[in-house]
Chain A
Amino acid sequence: MSRTVDKLVMMANQIGKFFVPQRDGDPVAAIADHLQKFWDPRMRAGIIAHLAAGGAGLDGPVREAVGRLKKPSA
């Protein structure tokens, strides 16, 4: 993995570690929503491409959340 992808994976997993322990709502939806709202299109495109290539390193709920992201148009 490139350094940038490594970083995206680490950041996405960090987000997952916050939302997974929350006890109401769907943590996967919350992770996806956070990525959608705070990551610029090229970052989202990067993590989506990484998932398409196998998604090595992504924690389970994060992998699922990335899977729910729409491919950015830009």
Chain B
Amino acid sequence: MSLVQEIDYGTPASKSTQTVTLTIDGNPVTVSAGTSIMRAAMDAGIQVPKLCATDSVDAFGSCRLCLVEIAGRAGTPASCTTPVAAGMVVSTQTERLKQVRKGVMELYISDHPLDCLTCAANGDCELQDMAGAVGLRDVRYGYEGENHLKLEKDESNPYFTFDASKCIVCSRCVRACEEVQGTFALTIQGRGFDSKVSAGAFGDDFLSSECVSCGACVQACPTATLSEKSLIEIGQPEHSVVTTCAYCGVGCSFKAEMRGEELVRMVPYKEGKANHGHSCVKGRFAWGYANHKERILKPMIRESIEQPWREVSWQVAIDRVASEFKRLQGKHGRLAIGGITSSRCTNEETYLVQKLVRGGFGNNNVDTCARVCHSPTGYGLKTTFGTSAGTQDFDSVDQSDVIMVIGANPTDAHPVFASRMKKRLRAGAKLIVIDPRRTDIVRMPHIEADYHLPLRPGTNAAILNALAHTIVTEGLVDEAFVREFCDRDAFEHWASFVSEPQNSPETVGLVAGVSPAAIRGAARLYATGGNGAIYYGLGVTEHSQGTTAVMALANLAMATGNLGKRGVGVNPLRGQNNVQGACDMGSFPHELTGYRHISDDATRTMFEKLWGRPLDAEPGLRIPNMFDAAIDGTFKGLYVQGEDILQSDPNTEHVVRALAAMECVVVQDLFLNETANYAHVFLPGSTFLEKDGTFTNAERRINRVRKVMTPKNGMADWEITLAIAKAMGFEMPYSHPSEIMDEIAKLTPTFAGVSYELLDKEGSVQWPCNEKAPLGTPIMHIGGFARGKGNFMITEYVPTDERTGPRFPLLLTTGRILSQYNVGAQTRRTDNVVWHQEDVLEIHPHDAEQRGIRDGDWVKLDSRAGGTALHARITDRVAPGVVYTTFHHPDTQANVVTTEYSDWATNCPEYKVTAVQVSPSNGPSEWQKEYAEQADHSRRIATKVAAE
């Protein structure tokens, strides 16, 4: 194995379709018009020396090392900033150029520490390489003069250091922060000799600045000035493996750079089609949880949750699972047990869990955590378009003219895609944000939303109907698109419905608390502003009308012809890494892989034949239904792979009652999570670094996950499921996850062409990938919808049953933060906690003042479901009457407060609307204290090894 080397072309690729032929060092070279001479030379295999140029940012032309000579032109122009021209004759190596370059390098080196042997970048330093390339042998200026060698190191960031003494002020980091990440946290402070890279305002260090630790600056730095602390500690990696990040639904490709089995660093992979070499703080740096001391590596069992855990062998643990599940089915019937798959696990793992449940348990009681996030997306888009997935690839945003972000906070939850979106917005695309909070994207450096509709939580459907009302009644419908591609009757019904007065902006504005003029303005902009793209998140789906709102978005896109081409579409931003994949893999209780209903005889028969088992034609229980059935006494055993339902599902006390009512709860996870407090068997899981498989991201992209180290727990997750199946009498003979994918391809028309061989060759593909689309489908519904004609649905606004009143006058909505991920099981066990040590409650100054609450005070947060306490943060990001918190910390348990109200179609919980009261408090609530005590008690592990 060796390091995966990527070519740095020095400047970005030109997008021109015209070509130009020139001569470089006697070689004819043909490239796209607008390409820099530097890049054209690299295309021809000629490396022009450079320092300030790198192909992730625009050319800058400051280092003066990449000079070339051009026949017929005076001087020595910089090859990075000079575009090619037809017939141009370029020389990259002449005596004159050698002298100039050597002189430039002498100046750089005269103010650079000569500690190469002990430097972290030794062997991977562009300055060192360039000194070699120009043949630098001595420095005539000496080292005695004024220099920067004694400047202090900034070690404030937990993951990287900034050593100003090694900085050559090439501005690559500053430009990466601006152009790649779009945060503008870095700048060059001072002039001339005093110029230096500065994070934030005077007096700031990296940690206190606006830096979001995406790592783009570290990636761009040509010296050891910005270095990963892990690299400094461990040393240069000797091999690397390309794999996929296990955090959000963007699905970034990374090179896992290794020394033996030790991970040195995760470097974003330029060839990754989802991220194109960019990263965020989670994927780039927050992988330390894999080695965290709290990780459980041995299977454990116990007879009751009152007992401490006992470590046992894998065989004993697996036998316990099988014997308990068989006992429960014998006593309470076939439908008494089930399983939950996780969007954090691979496609192959989730496929196996649903296969185990359907084939091994003999029922369809399998569900996935996508139930509680994007299940309305599947239902809504399938009904309207015919496919349960988003329509575009991420690159499509580059051609958007109007971007509508609704119920999503991409800069926190999907930061790498957000950087692409921000780049397009800085280039002139218009922005509509529909969100109760003033999220960062509403106003940030060089970006300001044209419209922010700060709607009252729970009124998405009403607002979307009002947008539609404006489009229809003002004659803004794309009639040609609707005529050609949509069901005419359905359109007429819908157009008549949205035109009714109750859907006018003037009426809806009163309900939603939004200016009618803003609603009309936003609608006109979306309908007439060119390519209109919708990006949405859980602020759309996690409502009692989640599915209705997804359909309403689909209606808008169809009515305006914003489908079937680049730059447009309806794009769900999936929360976790494999939400799309978990849904694709038949994790929902009512459907098999590829979204085919379990009652469909032909589909079911195909699976029955291949699996050799009869399958139940009845739908199984969804997660919330499992809880209700457990409390009712008909559901007794549960296998949970990679999901923490106790922390992530609504109404924690209800979930506690359900788990406590079950006789055998099996948790497979990295850590003793909150659910494990009520478990009887714990099966230690493996991290994404320890397994082979695939993840499917929000753009339907199937990406390979590659094993870079041996599973520390002794078994990959897919092997654990196989062992359970075998013990249950259902053999699943696979020797590698690639064989599982082969079976998925055999059974699933949209995956028919997918294989590990294809993925290794192409890097990744987007489904549908089959005979019709052998290399996948970046854009869906070109020339017609998957279902035939686009189907407009009536989306009548129905207010949620969760109402405010005198006891609970405020509305709570929940969300995420950049540095933490989902229930925080991984990110809380990394240095990311420096940015977010606890969940806090955002409250408007007016509401805080009325209650006598000061910033930082402990406050009680109570709803009809329960109460908790946390610190208050006073901010006008939230409107009066609305409060907000995150759900990353079990100490707070935000879901103690959320209710069981759910989406009408899918039972996706209504996390985003809870009527609450906030009042001053002295500290954690009694419930929190009792919960912490129970959790500590439950996590005890007996020191004596069990006799089994």
Contacts and interface: CB of A to CB of B under 8 A. Distances in A.
Nearest to A12: B904
A50 to B, nearest CB: 14
Contacts of B794: 21-23
Interface in A8-67: 10-11, 14-15, 17-18, 21-24, 34, 37-43
A43 B620 CA distance: 10
A38 B905 contact: yes
A22 B801 CA distance: 21
A42 B489 CA distance: 37
Contacts of B489: 24
A7 B496 CA distance: 33
A14 B597 contact: no
A74 interface: yes
A21 to B, nearest CB: 4
Given A15-B905, A23-B497, A40 B589 contact: yes
Given A18-B548, A21-B497, 13 more contacts: A4-B628, A4-B632, A18-B904, A23-B493, A24-B489, A24-B493, A38-B590, A38-B622, A40-B364, A40-B365, A42-B629, A74-B333, A74-B334
5 contacts: A17-B904, A18-B798, A23-B497, A34-B905, A42-B629
Contacts of B906: 38
B634 interface: yes
A23 B492 CA distance: 10
B628 A7 contact: yes
B618 A74 contact: yes
For the complex of A and B, list the 7 residue pairs with the smallest distance between their C-beta atoms, beginning with the closest. Answer: A14-B904, A23-B493, A21-B796, A40-B621, A17-B798, A21-B794, A22-B794
Contacts of A21: 497, 794, 796
B621 A10 contact: no
Interface residues of A, number: 22
B243 interface: no
A41 B621 CA distance: 9
A52 to B, nearest CB: 18
Contacts of B493: 22-24
Contacts of A34: 905
Contacts of A17: 796, 798, 904
A11 B907 contact: yes
Contact of B620 (A11, A14, A40): A40
Interface string B787-814: 0000001101010010000000000000
Given A21-B796, A23-B497, A40 B625 contact: yes
A11 B628 CA distance: 13
Nearest to A35: B619
Given A42-B634, A74-B335, A37 B599 contact: yes
Contacts of A10: 801
A34 B490 CA distance: 19
Given A17-B796, A23-B493, A40 B619 contact: yes
A7 B335 contact: no
A56 to B, nearest CB: 17
Contacts of A43: 621, 625
Interface in B574-630: 589-590, 597, 599, 618-622, 625, 628-629
Contacts of A41: 335, 618
A42 B334 CA distance: 12
B544 interface: yes
A13 to B, nearest CB: 9
Contact of A7 (B590, B618, B900): B900
Contacts of A39: 619, 625
Interface string B617-658: 011111001001101101000000000000000000000000
Given A38-B619, A40-B365, A74-B335, A18 B597 contact: no
Interface string B468-495: 0000000000000000000001100100
Interface of A: 4, 7, 10-11, 14-15, 17-18, 21-24, 34, 37-43, 72, 74
B521 to A, nearest CB: 28
B618 A72 contact: yes
Contacts of B902: 11
Contacts of B622: 38, 40
Nearest to B551: A18
Contacts of B907: 11
Interface centre among A4, A14, A72 (most CB of B within 10 A): A14
Nearest to A34: B905
Given A24-B493, A40-B589, A40-B625, A14 B618 contact: no
A29 B144 CA distance: 89
Contacts of B632: 4
Contacts of B547: 18
Nearest to A42: B634
Contact of B619 (A11, A24, A37): A37
A22 B791 CA distance: 12
Interface string B310-349: 0000000000000000000000011100000000000000
Contacts of A42: 335, 621, 629, 634
A34 B634 CA distance: 23
- Chain B CB within 10 Å — which of A15, A17, A18, A34 has the most? A18
B503 to A, nearest CB: 12
A11 B904 contact: yes
A36 B30 CA distance: 63
A7 B801 CA distance: 12
B701 to A, nearest CB: 29
Nearest to A72: B618
Nearest to B801: A10
B335 A37 contact: no
B480 to A, nearest CB: 23
Nearest to A7: B628
Contacts of A74: 333-335, 618
Nearest to B629: A42
A4 B632 CA distance: 8
A67 B904 CA distance: 20
Contact of B544 (A14, A37, A40): A14
A32 to B, nearest CB: 14
Nearest to B628: A4
Contacts of B599: 37
A7 B628 CA distance: 9
A71 B573 CA distance: 40
Most A C-beta atoms less than 10 A away, residue of B333, B619, B902: B619
B788 to A, nearest CB: 15
Nearest to B544: A14
Contact of A40 (B496, B497, B618): B618
B638 to A, nearest CB: 15
Contacts of A4: 628, 631-632
Contacts of A11: 902, 904, 907
A39 B626 CA distance: 11
Nearest to A13: B904
Contacts of A7: 628, 900
Contacts of B796: 17-18, 21
A18 B905 contact: yes
A3 B900 CA distance: 12
A7 B654 CA distance: 13
Nearest to B597: A37
B627 to A, nearest CB: 11
A23 B791 CA distance: 13
Given A23-B493, A24-B489, A74-B618, A40 B335 contact: yes
Nearest to B334: A74
A15 B904 contact: yes
Contacts of B620: 40
Contacts of A37: 590, 597, 599, 619
A21 B632 CA distance: 34
